A = this chain, B = another copy of it.
Amino acid sequence: MKARVHITLKNGVLDPQGKAIQHALTALDFGGVDDVRQGKYIELDLAETDREKALASVEDMCKKLLSNTVIENYVIEIE
């Protein structure tokens, strides 16, 4: 199964990387960019074929390694 994980900074957490992109876009004359937030996107190929088990396993991975749950949210899609 394939799992897609989006890891984004929680609201209110400063995103210097996003701000840097925003400034660079403004410097390149792209106007009207009100906000930019950058997150991570991870694709996992899993040997597991059971959807529920795969989801539980990826959730565990997010908590233990992939995300910092103090400042980040994660969203998992399984297909």
Contact = CB atoms under 8 A, between A and B. Distances in A.
A43 B48 contact: no
A44 interface: yes
A31 B34 CA distance: 42
Contacts of A66: 21
Identical chains bound together, number:
2
Interface in A51-66: 57, 60-61, 64-66
Contacts of A28: 61, 64-65
Contacts of A61: 25, 28, 30
Interface of A: 6-8, 18, 21, 24-25, 28, 30-48, 57, 60-61, 64-66
